[in-house]
Amino acid sequence: MLNQDIVREATRLTRAGQLVEATAVLQRMLRGESAPEATSGTTGRPALGGLEPPTIDAKANVIEETESPRLARATSAHQRKHAALLDGITNRFGLGLRGPIKRAPPSMQDIVPDGARFVEGAYCNAAGSRTYKLFIPSRYQGQPLPLVVMLHGCTQSPDDFAAGTRMNFLAEEQTCFVIYPEQRSEANQAKCWNWFRTSDQQRGSGEPSLIAGITRQIMRDYSVDPKRVYVGGLSAGGAAAAIMGATYNDLYAAIGIHSGLACGAATDLPSAFVAMRQGGASNGRMIPGDGPPVPTIVFHGDRDTTVHPNNGNLILEQSVGAASPQTKVHRGRVPGGHAYTRTVLTEPGGRAILEHWNIHGAGHAWSGGCPAGSYTDPRGPDATREMLRFFLEHSLPRQAGWS
């Protein structure tokens, strides 16, 4: 079978509930082997040749010692085996970041500058509910301010992500609000945003409606400049940010994607696996937004083994569409740190609409981040400073939509 045929077969098996068989097919493909053609019995299941139940990632993170909802619902040993396998697959497909499972939580000194506030809130709609943390800069006195939405990666929390990126400290310098929505473990055991599900890639439903709802709630409760609202994220959060840019381009003036994937790069677990390992949408179903592209800044390490670096290039292809912007390439190196290639795409008038930072030698971690948070690479360049700089260079040409 060709890879595309293998993915289709794995998708069929997944939808049929044959999770062990689907995973075996995908693992054979990644090892360069052909998928088994024969079937056993009358069930139509591939003959697995006595393989043990495969695992996608032997280093899957265990967040808590509690059972997942699907494990809790399993009533037999056979069902529990399949539920545990699906949890492992979901963690991996959800961009499960590798790193220390147990670490001391960051201190408030690593999260909030003196004089500023970091408050908790919650939002709910028909799609569910999510909590969030809001950073309020010390110089806020009711004047309209820019707002940045930050979407964490798998296994992370708002406190952890804020400490690792130090976005609050940069927002204090620039006098901006920052929101950190938090994914629930009930929605994804590894707390990954479910970027690979079609139900969470659409305006007005699923997780996009929750993230947009949190954004609008802050815009109602505080004085926010509606033309200067932005969204960024890491890994699964970066993929979710891409979805927000494609589905709510009347709400967000610019987006930042660190180690993520384009909107529509996957539509289910098997295609997510392929997109992460090889890059791109295996089914060709990239989802462009309506109207002009949302200005986008992308960061990706060229040694990323969790999300293939090709995904960074595909985000730019999706954003550019049929446009023909001018391209400028800059190369540099952080003293004592990583070299990088920065590609800037500009409109005819000279305004930068797309940036791609290819960080040489970097893996799957926030570039220039602080070790107080998880999954950071202090060797730079400083993705937080560059992302916020890019954000503040852009504003919506009209007031943000509220539909």
Instruction: Summarize pLDDT for 135-180 with one digit per residue, the tens.
Output: 999 999 999 999 999 999 999 999 999 999 999 999 999 999 999 9
pLDDT at 38 over 50: no
Taking the C-alpha atoms of residue 21 and residue 3, their distance in angstroms, rounded to an integer, is 16
Q: Is 336 left (phi over 0), alpha (psi -120 to 50) or beta?
A: left
Average pLDDT of the residues in 303-311: 95
Please give the single-letter amino acid code of residue 391.
F
Token pair, residue 41, equals 């019995």
Token pair 């993705």 is found at: 383
383 vs 6, more confident: 383
Whether the bond between 208 and the residue before it is cis, its omega within 30 degrees of 0, is no
Taking the C-alpha atoms of residue 208 and residue 193, their distance in angstroms, rounded to an integer, is 10
φ, ψ for residue 67 (rounded to 5)? -80, 150
Token pair 């985000």 is found at: 315
CA-nearest of 250, 239, 232 to 290 is 250
Q: How confident is the model at residue 279 (pLDDT cuts 50, 70, 90)?
A: confident
Q: Which pLDDT does position 278 carry in this prediction? A: 85
Taking the C-alpha atoms of residue 263 and residue 260, their distance in angstroms, rounded to an integer, is 10
Please write the tens of the pLDDT for every residue from 96-137: 444 444 567 899 999 999 999 999 999 999 999 999 999 999
* DSSP conformational letter for 333: E
Q: What are the residue boundaries of the structural domains of the chain, listed by start? A: 116-392
* CA 287 to mean position of chain CA atoms: 16
Q: Say whether domain 116-392 belongs to CATH 3.40.50.1820.
A: yes
Ranges assigned E (strand) in 235-315: 254-258, 296-301
Taking the C-alpha atoms of residue 403 and residue 394, their distance in angstroms, rounded to an integer, is 22
pLDDT at 306 over 70: yes
Q: Which pLDDT does position 79 carry in this prediction? A: 53
* CA 298 to mean position of chain CA atoms: 12
How many Cβ atoms sit within 10 Å of the Cβ of residue 146?
A: 21
Please write the tens of the pLDDT for every residue from 211-222: 999 999 999 999
* DSSP conformational letter for 309: T
pLDDT at 241 over 70: yes
Residue 224: strand, helix, or coil: strand
384 to each of 115, 206, 265, 377, how far by Cα in Å?
A: 21, 28, 25, 12
Q: How confident is the model at residue 401 (pLDDT cuts 50, 70, 90)?
A: very low
Q: Which pLDDT does position 48 carry in this prediction? A: 33
How many Cβ atoms sit within 10 Å of the Cβ of residue 7?
A: 22
pLDDT at 26 over 80: no
Token pair 């289709």 is found at: 8
Residue 358: strand, helix, or coil: strand
Q: Which pLDDT does position 12 carry in this prediction? A: 72
